[in-house]
Structure 1
Amino acid sequence: MSTTRTQPSERAETVASDDYPLTEVPLRARRGFLSLLTVLLGFVFFTPTMLAGARISTAFYWEDLLAVLIVGSTILGLYVAFLAVIGARTGLTTVLLARYTLGRYGAKWASVLLGGTQVCWYAVTAVFISELLVQAFGLEGYTWVVIVLSSVLTGITAYYGFRGLEVLSGLSVPLMLALCCWVVFQALDAVGGWGGLAEVAPEESMPWATAVTIVVGTFVSGGTQTPNWSRFARLPWQAFVAALGAFLIGNLLMLVFGAVGAIAFQAGDFVVVLLQLNLVLAAVTLLFFNVWTTQETTAYAFGVAGAEMFGLASKRPFIIAGIAVAILLALTGIYEALPQYLLLLGIFIPPLGGVIIGDHLFVWRGSLRKLSRTRFLAVRWSCLSAYVLGTVVAFVSDQLAIGLPPVQGILTAIVAVPVAERLFRAWGVETRHTSVEEQ
């Protein structure tokens, strides 16, 4: 084995060139806490998240709404933080972790589910960008051109890997935070301060659990794929703190910003709010770069999912293909289905993260055999059953409006893993992968 040391410039080049889509991230390519936090904040500082806050703001008084946003963001933050730790400990992407949990073919479902939902998010965001540009610059009739051009442009940095994410996020996050704070200040001034905000009566009704599920759904798909980036953390605690800070505090801020703007200006779309404030050029510039940071991480996510799906040691072809599919979806009107889409994400994706967490805690006990030394089962029926059970519980809970469906789905999946392991082993079904040396 070579003992040649890799210089910092060489490390950056290695990370940028391939990002290890089918292997563990080696220690030489790991990065510091600030780097990871910057990338994750760039991911969650996502203006369409404001749309979710705006949509549910019409159904609650301010105090009740704030409680919904805090509870939902706390659930999301803790869930993502645990997954981030697993990613940092193993150096693996979410879809590679799913290979351990669901088996060689079972992991393909995770790749389809996670990669597919991220492609849909890319399409939703492409429409958001085009709407902003069309309204701001009077480009009616050229919407499809704007969608195509912006979708291609925002995927470029994902093509070049983690380093591209880090640089762009570092530029856009402070600017976006400043813009949002200014909008909130203007909104409070228009509505008569926090007291006036609290007096605004809801115009619609929505079950509390449904609202929390929508909040969790804002980033449960992207959050489940946090190991894609936390695998670059040098220490697990860095991954935990960065993920909790980004998905609890960062995502909560975006929801609050969207809700306050919607209540004050009676506009459910943040683009409309900005245009009402005559923030045309500044808003377009800042928001475009903000959305770009999320689009690049989204493209990165469906890129590594595609790499696992087809066993190709490069994410780049799948980034290109995913963007092409997203453009087609964006031109079909997917934007209007966002609330329903978020609700479905809050039901079907959390149990997947839950089963990965449960498998890591109760079966592998925090220690995974290296990919190159593991002969994977085709399907791990025990964990697949735990996932299905968690999904059924989340779905039924949502349909009957009982409790918090995402939480119940996650917890059911976690607890079901050790139970299913014992049952399937008692039935004589193999539930553990073997070492290559054992064959």
Structure 2
Amino acid sequence: MSKITKQTMDQQNTERVVDQDYPLEHVPKSARKSLLSISCVLIGFTFFTPTMASGASLGAAFKFDELILIITAGSIILGLYVASLCCIGARTGLTSVLQSKYTFGKAGAKWADIILGGTQVFWYAITGEYMGSLFAMALGLDTFGWKVFFILFWGVIMGLTALYGVRAMAIVSYVAIPLMAVLMVIVMVMAIREAGSIDAIRAITPSSSMTVTSAITVIVGTFASGGTQAGNWARFAKTGKAAFIAGLFGFLIGNGVMIFSGMLGGLVFGTGDLIELMISMGIVFWALIILTLNIWTTNNATAYAFGMAGAELFQKNNKKPFIIGGIIIALLMAIFGISNYFIPMLNLLGTFVPPLGGAIIGDYFFVSKGRIPKLEYVTFKTWRIAPIIAYILGCASAYLGGLFNVGMPALQGILIAMIAMPIIHSIFVKCGLKDEHEVAENAEYI
């Protein structure tokens, strides 16, 4: 590659960029946003009502004091995992699927496009069906026709803000987060009043059983898939440190608080769906307002994620057609009852998605030592075999762990892939096997 000046490269990049969310580019320093903005987007993503149901399942299986320790441990694991990927995203300025291209190669990245984009289409469908059912029920219009109407109406409206990228997502989060915070305070007060006191809550005996490792898996699994793609938004942070803080805050605090609220609901009221609880108490208007904003922040992020995955898959520097296409597919899935396959899909997500992030972390920090060449200086291999082996090992450990109820499948999938990555790479180097991309001599590293 001939030597190119920084100024010339910047001019070329400006000419190439079609989408100002940079689906096929490094995010330039001029486009970086504040820690507050990135944190709000990530917290808005984790403020997801169905997460409360996960907390409720824990609330029925453990005593209060045990639950505090379990939620803390699970949230720390999830927070550190996501924060590491956020740090990589900000330091490289790359989406999760573009980072996969460095780790797995051109063809390997296509698998990341399919599985990461596909999981987010699935989540958009799940939330769409949830919104349609709840609105129809709450307004006394509980028929299939009205359910379809609300699925389509909210699916389209929420998708519009994703088209306008991170800035629009941040605005929605600024409105939604305070309301969700108020909801969670109300829930805590209601739970204490219903039980009589904190001591009464602590004295509640479990009505079901679950192992501690299974409980931590539930916490990690709720956002292991979405968290693997957190770099899509964290890449707009000004520094890797700021992105790490935003990721840790969003997924340790945000997701942890949602799990905690659901746990209180499960302990005291016997349900983790606090929106349905509010509707049953007659607080329909505020329940629907909070529900709408809550789902909106998450659907923004999911639509944005599958838009980015589609842009990389088809090498089109514009996320919008893929957001629109993904929403159409998701709404059809919602109408035809995708929630019937919710649990099997969750198991698949927990098996195949987290090891992807583990391999990326292992490759970036332990093989590349935190420095990669810019995209324009790299001729990418079709496949990188060492990372693919590490990923397969991570998936196998997660699958077998779930099959035989050993360990914490999502966590061990991440750790095995992350640890195997530098080990297998070292073996390849010692055997003289070339498994690296071709990099120009005058390459600029980031």
Normalised by the shorter chain, which TM-score bucket?
A: over 0.9
Return the match for 1:363 from 354, 364, 367: 367
Aligned residue number for residue 216 of structure 2: 212
Return the match for 2:105 from 86, 98, 103: 103
The answer as to whether partners of 1:15 and 1:29 remain within 8 angstroms in 2 is: no
1:273-284 alignment runs, 5 A limit: 273-284=277-288
- Aligned residue pairs total 432
1:432 aligns with 2:436: yes
Backbone CA RMSD of aligned residues: 2.3
Structure 1 residue 118 displacement after superposition: 0.8
1:418 aligns with 2:435: no
Aligned residue number for residue 274 of structure 2: 270
**Partner Cα separation in structure 1 for residue 320 and residue 392 of structure 2:** 31
Amino acid at match of 1:150: W
The answer as to whether partners of 2:19 and 2:317 remain within 8 angstroms in 1 is: no
Return the match for 1:27 from 11, 26, 29: 29
1:196 aligns with 2:195: no
Return the match for 1:392 from 396, 400, 419: 396
Structure 1 residue 17 displacement after superposition: 4.7
1:238-257 alignment runs, 5 A limit: 238-257=242-261
The answer as to whether partners of 1:114 and 1:225 remain within 8 angstroms in 2 is: yes
**Partner Cα separation in structure 2 for residue 257 and residue 336 of structure 1:** 25
The answer as to whether partners of 1:125 and 1:295 remain within 8 angstroms in 2 is: yes
The answer as to whether partners of 1:16 and 1:164 remain within 8 angstroms in 2 is: no
The answer as to whether partners of 1:92 and 1:227 remain within 8 angstroms in 2 is: yes
Q: Deviations over 1:239-288 (max 9, x none)?
A: 01111011001100001111211222222433321113322101111220
Structure 1 residue 426 displacement after superposition: 4.2
Identical columns (%): 44
**Partner Cα separation in structure 1 for residue 345 and residue 58 of structure 2:** 14
Structure 1 residue 50 displacement after superposition: 0.9
The answer as to whether partners of 1:17 and 1:160 remain within 8 angstroms in 2 is: no
Q: Structure 2: any 5+ residue segments left out of the alignment? A: none
Amino acid at match of 2:270: Q
The answer as to whether partners of 2:52 and 2:259 remain within 8 angstroms in 1 is: yes
1:22-61 alignment runs, 5 A limit: 22-61=24-63
Amino acid at match of 1:184: M
Structure 1 consecutive aligned stretches of length 4 or more whose deviation exceeds 3 Å:
1-4, 14-17, 336-344, 425-429, 436-439
Q: Deviations over 1:108-138 (max 9, x none)?
A: 1111111111111111111221232112111
Aligned residue number for residue 136 of structure 1: 138
The answer as to whether partners of 1:214 and 1:339 remain within 8 angstroms in 2 is: no
The answer as to whether partners of 1:52 and 1:339 remain within 8 angstroms in 2 is: no
Amino acid at match of 1:136: A
The answer as to whether partners of 1:94 and 1:224 remain within 8 angstroms in 2 is: yes
- Change in Cα spacing, 1:131 to 1:64, as seen in structure 2 (3 Å) is farther
TM-score between the two structures when normalised by the length of structure 2: 0.92
Aligned residue number for residue 226 of structure 1: 230
Structure 1 residue 58 displacement after superposition: 2.0
- Change in Cα spacing, 1:302 to 1:89, as seen in structure 2 (3 Å) is same
Structure 1 residue 415 displacement after superposition: 1.3
1:310 aligns with 2:310: no
TM-score between the two structures when normalised by the length of structure 1: 0.93
